[in-house]
Amino acid sequence: MRSYTYFDAGEFLERKTNLFDLNIDNKIAGISADAFGSVKAKALKVFGAGASVVADGARTPLKELSPVTEFTVEGSSFTERRKWSYGDLIEIIRRLRDPDGCPWDRAQTHESIRSNAIEEAYELAEAVDFKDAAKMREEAGDVMLQGLFHAVIAEDEGAFDDGDLIDALCEKLITRHTHIFGAEKAADPDEALKNWEAAKAVEKGYRSTEDKIRSVPVTYGALMRAYKIQKIVKKTGFDFSDESGAYDKIAEELSEYASAAPEEREKEGGDILFAVVNYLRMGGIDPETALNGTTARFIKRFLYMEKRCREENVELKAENIGKMEEFYQESKKVVG
């Protein structure tokens, strides 16, 4: 007997019913005339317009289905479809890791793909900065892949699997949103974040500021780590009373760097950067985002300047700095 999943039309339309196995038949019944349009629209989203449907004893593509009281979407292998589910994604990764799977995927370990997650996260952040929806979709998928790849590797090792990963994430989202799933209230984003952090402190067993500071990964980028540490320390009251104090600290550190012995300059240089992060933080600016934006703008402007130099037969060298600077300033009006 062919396996299938049965859904009442009302159940099928519920938001909480959102995971379907496209490898087996899915039967949807009890469809009223008023509900057919909504049921078909969701079915098209879930199963795809080209899915094969059996209704009233006849087989037809889902996109051509006329009003009926029930229909069955025929299951098929993920290699035969153009629409996939979460289960398909996990199975594809597992298949790549099989003994006769992809040699590269089989060879990977947690350590070998460690940097991939960092690279993909930065690529997603760039897509967000550019407001590129298509790129965001692609890069968000790549970030998701990294997490699931680790889960499949861990499954091979008997450590945990994707189900355990989902369990841990759902538990975190429920227990930390005490203002949604608990008795706490949150009137605004700041209060919601405060509740999240309080719940996290209980969950992680943080009993002191030291616990929170030590929880910040040393693998963060230097700007990000400084920013996170400063935000934690701020809550103890150890902070400048206003931005002017943070500004003056930058001037102080610059002076100390200028008069420092050569062997002390690295330390003093770090103090300058830490002071700048502090100043930006007090202004509500994420230094990592700010510096990435500046670097991206510099690249565009420099490449424009280089192009203009080629057009004017100006060689890129110190002797031509005046002309190079002229083209660089021009680039601000042309490329932003």
pLDDT higher than 70, residue 1: no
pLDDT on residue 269:
96
pTM of the model: 0.75
CATH 3.30.540.10, applies to 206-285? no
What tens digit of pLDDT does each residue of 290-317 get?
998 899 899 999 999 999 999 999 999 9
Question: Quick one: DSSP state of residue 172?
Answer: H
Q: What CA–CA distance (Å, rounded) separates 221 from 273?
A: 13
pLDDT on residue 18:
81
What tens digit of pLDDT does each residue of 283-295 get?
999 998 899 889 9
* % of the chain with per-residue pLDDT over 70: 100
pLDDT on residue 3:
84
Dihedrals phi, psi of 53, to nearest 5 degrees = -120, 140
* % of the chain with per-residue pLDDT over 90: 84
CB-based contacts of 261, cutoff 8 Å, min separation 6 = none
What tens digit of pLDDT does each residue of 241-289 get?
999 999 999 999 999 999 999 999 999 999 999 999 999 999 999 998 8
> Average per-residue pLDDT in the chain?
94
pLDDT on residue 45:
95
pLDDT higher than 80, residue 77: yes
What tens digit of pLDDT does each residue of 167-216 get?
999 999 999 999 999 999 999 998 998 898 888 888 888 888 899 999 89
Q: Kindly state the tokens that stand for 79.
A: 């290699």
Which band of pLDDT confidence, cut at 50, 70 and 90, is reported for residue 142?
A: very high
233 half-sphere exposure, CB direction, 13 A CA radius: 15
What tens digit of pLDDT does each residue of 26-55 get?
999 999 999 999 999 999 999 999 999 999
Q: Where are the domains of the chain?
A: 4-80, 86-160, 206-285, 288-334
Q: What CA–CA distance (Å, rounded) separates 71 from 263?
A: 77
CATH 1.10.10.10, applies to 4-80? no
Mean pLDDT of 125-140: 93
pLDDT higher than 90, residue 156: yes
- Interior angle at CA 22, CA 17 and CA 26, nearest 5: 65
Q: What CA–CA distance (Å, rounded) separates 326 from 333?
A: 12
Same fold, 4-80 and 206-285: no
Dihedrals phi, psi of 241, to nearest 5 degrees = -70, -25
Q: Which numeric CATH code is attached to 86-160?
A: 1.10.287.1080
Q: Please tell me whether residue 8 adopts helix, strand or coil conformation.
A: strand
